[in-house]
Structure 1
Amino acid sequence: MTTPYSQANVVDLTHTITEDMPVYPGTDAPIIEQGTTVAKEGFAEKKLTFFSHVGTHMDAPAHIFEDKKTLDALPVSTFTGPACVIDVSGQAHITLDFLKLHEDRIGHCDFVIFSSGHEKHWGTEAYFSPFPTLDEEAAKWISTQNLKGLGIDAISFDTMDVTTLFIHEILLGNGLVLIENLKNLDQIKDPIFTFVALPLKIVESDGSPIRAIAILP
């Protein structure tokens, strides 16, 4: 019996949730407790306590706006589609001129994912150091490109020194979903691939941890 996908062409883009993982400043770290065990109760379960925006996760428009949609209100088709990875390593800011270099590929995608190389700092203080972010002009333009969402291998779409999540406001305000803390983007060599990022179906969810994968041609 054959299957449509082999292990070789499915790439895991998701960080493991652990108690010592990096979290956005001001967010409590996850707590993972052993609730029951096979030895004692005959079955194993864990008790999980964590914020909705830890690890590899998705932001809903409701993350910033009270009157915008939550993840559970979006159709499931929102969470998968053709995607491309754009290498932004070495860029201080992602500008409109830079995005225009990739306009043709962007036009064939539902998701654009920015690979900054910042994943290499995961688990260290350097993960909170500067990483490439969209400038205002680029954020406004990419919000008009008929996309479902954007992804990045860093902790935020805004810089860490902001007091207002201005770039989030532009992107989420235009109905995009945002995926942060991706990994293994350097394993994707194909110009376009299938991206799957499924959030937990939590009532009125402003965000959720996800299992993100790339299905390569």
Structure 2
Amino acid sequence: MDTVLYFSVLLLTAVRPMYSAPRIVDLSHQQDDNAVSWPVNPPYNFTKLHRGFYAPFNIWLENNHIAMPEHMGTHVDAPVHTFKGTWRTHQIPIEKLYGPGVIINVKAKVESNPDYRVSTDDLLKYEEKYGEIPRHSVVIMNSGWTQKYLNNTLVWGTMQLLDSSTFHFPSWHEEAVTWLINKRQVNAIGVDTPSTDYGQSKTLPCHLIMGKNNVVGIENVANLDNIPESGSTIYVPVIKIYDGSGGPARLFGTYDDDPDKTNAASTATSSMFYTCFFIIPLIIKF
């Protein structure tokens, strides 16, 4: 038995399984004075309460105060944001705040039409390429709008920031949102623009449909070109604000850039253990 154990340990230490570490992509803009928010909202406020040596504990100490709207920068719309009686921010089940990442790339269409709305046809074409959108997905429009983020005039598509009738930016069509909810039971729907309804919307139908169905909205998503259109997992860690209608989120996605390597590593590891604990003992016995 000592001989079996010796050879097993020797093989385990000599052959190291090759695990593939996942890629991680930050999908959030930073929160600061420039963070995009509806123009009528109060501004972001960051106040230094203490920054320096703190004699009572003989340490360097920093402590700040922040004040900001819930719906600012990269943030979540809780369903109650637009539909009374649905989930408030602290009530959103944690399992609804992540899912398979589905990135719908409409950048080419937006170039010629800043009022473009993602259609059901766009979703069907995505499925032709990548297969059926998984249930409980986090589906996000990539319009390329993130490149405009630090310029309010470009983000809102107007010089008249206090007149919402002049807004021009892309988003979702209500028929596509309805299809995602009814046909694919998605967890969340997002955009890289300021709203899950396009700039010229007068009635916010996508917000209403998502709210009514307890589907999370995500706005001002960043860095969508850095994550694959299919094959990722996206996490939506919104601050758990009690009684809130939304809140800022450090959105991020993970993916394996070499899935074949992961499968190979898994197979190699299984084979190694099988050899250690089944084949070697048989060889020594006979």
Same fold (TM > 0.5): yes
Alignment partner for residue 126 of structure 2, among 93, 98, 102?
102
| Unpaired segments ≥5 residues, structure 2 | 1-16, 110-115, 158-167, 257-286
Correspondence list, 1:78-89, <5 A? 78-89=96-107
Matched-pair contact (CA < 8 Å) for 1:190–1:216: no
Q: Which has the higher helix share?
A: 2
* Paired residue secondary structure (2:225): helix
Separation of aligned partners in 1, 2:234 and 2:99: 6
Query: Structure 1: which amino acid aligns with 2:179?
Result: W
**1:215 is aligned to 2:254:** yes
Shift of 1:84: 1.5
Matched-pair contact (CA < 8 Å) for 1:116–1:131: no
**1:114 is aligned to 2:134:** no
Separation of aligned partners in 2, 1:107 and 1:206: 27
Matched-pair contact (CA < 8 Å) for 1:21–1:29: no
Matched-pair contact (CA < 8 Å) for 1:61–1:206: yes
Give the root-mean-square deviation of aligned CA atoms.
2.0
Correspondence list, 1:1-217, <5 A? 9-39=23-53, 42-91=60-109, 92-103=116-127, 104-107=131-134, 110-124=137-151, 125-129=153-157, 130-144=168-182, 145-189=184-228, 191-217=230-256
Separation of aligned partners in 1, 2:253 and 2:44: 26
* Paired residue secondary structure (1:161): coil
TM-score, normalised relative to structure 1: 0.90
TM-score, normalised relative to structure 2: 0.70
Separation of aligned partners in 2, 1:71 and 1:105: 29
Query: Structure 2: which amino acid aligns with 1:147?
Result: V
Matched-pair contact (CA < 8 Å) for 2:78–2:211: yes
Query: Structure 1: which amino acid aligns with 2:76?
Result: M
Separation of aligned partners in 2, 1:5 and 1:155: 35
Shift of 1:190: 5.5
The C-alpha deviation readout for 1:95-143, integer Å capped at 9, x for no partner, is 1222222243423552111111000001111011233222232222122
Shift of 1:90: 3.0
Shift of 1:22: 2.3
Separation of aligned partners in 2, 1:39 and 1:165: 50
Shift of 1:27: 1.1
Separation of aligned partners in 2, 1:67 and 1:108: 25
* Paired residue secondary structure (2:103): strand
* Paired residue secondary structure (1:102): helix
Change (3 A) 1:77 1:108: closer
Identity of aligned residues (%): 26
Query: Structure 2: which amino acid aligns with 1:211?
Result: R
| Unpaired segments ≥5 residues, structure 1 | none
Separation of aligned partners in 2, 1:200 and 1:37: 25
Shift of 1:51: 0.6
Shift of 1:175: 1.4
Q: Which runs of 4+ in 1 moved over 4 A?
A: none
